[in-house]
Structure 1
Amino acid sequence: MNTPKRFIQRKVDVAEADKTRTHGPVADRPHPSGGAVFLAGVAGSGRGDLGRLAAERLGIPFRSYKEWEAAGRDRAVVALDDADILREGGPERVRSQGTVFYLMSGVPAVAERLAQAHPGEDAERLRALAAERFFAAEPVFMGALHFLLQGFRPAEEQVRDLLEKLSL
């Protein structure tokens, strides 16, 4: 499928002539530049792999939330889970400190990653735990996000998408 990369950066005319809006570089930024780059997601969503790759491309460190706090909240790629977001003061507080990407991985992908990380564990039990965590945490992540990343895509595609979104 061949879709335009920057289709949203056009002037769009609507039925009422006085209701036009231009989207793109001149529009207000939907996220603060220069802050942390937060990767929010449940355990097994791929935050670590994507975070290390994104940090390397951006030339900044990759940190867990606790490491980021200990480092003085520096410019870094930071892995967050829902408990970190709530500990930080909620979704709005996190959004104000950087750009939040929700790495949305479905239950099957999360369960598969957890099974790889914990060989010998009961696969059905891991799937049930993944489903429980996913559905409990998703509202927190959705409230915090600036951008959504599709967790089922390869990390290389995700990091390209992340870098493109950071440049908006």
Structure 2
Amino acid sequence: MLDFETYQEVLSLYADYASVVDTNDWDKWPEFFTDECTYKIQPRENFDRGLPLATLAFESKGMLKDRVYGITETIFHDPYYQRHVIGVPRILCAEEGRIDTEANYAVFRTKPDELPTVFNVGRYLDTIRRTAAGLKFESKVCVFDSEMIANSIIYPL
């Protein structure tokens, strides 16, 4: 069972996460994670079958920082904005210092001079840890519903 105050912290974690990735504040993105963490973007078909292949997979905060460097310094792409709509997280398990959650998400993408489009829809399967710095994601698995993705995924979901 999760107390009200901790649940409010979980809600704030999700809201702050969405704000950072929607405003392209990339230096803050890795700080949502523990040093030893997992971040995956995986198609539903592979996840449901227990297959390990993921569209993106990172295994530490250092790898997340490398991705930030790639986004800001080396990857060339048409500019776009993204906007996250994250459903209310469902608590799957709450143990001492660990919270497992599931939350639906939708990411909309807008390119300059184009109408917004639905870019990616799915669910987050997250493990959250209480740290000295507050709640952090120990694992974030973004399971997207479609077997196809439009173009490429540059920014985190």
Q: The TM-score by the shorter chain falls in which range?
A: under 0.3
Larger radius of gyration: 1
Bigger helix share: 1
Bigger strand share: 2
| TM-score scaled by length of structure 2 | 0.25
| TM-score scaled by length of structure 1 | 0.24
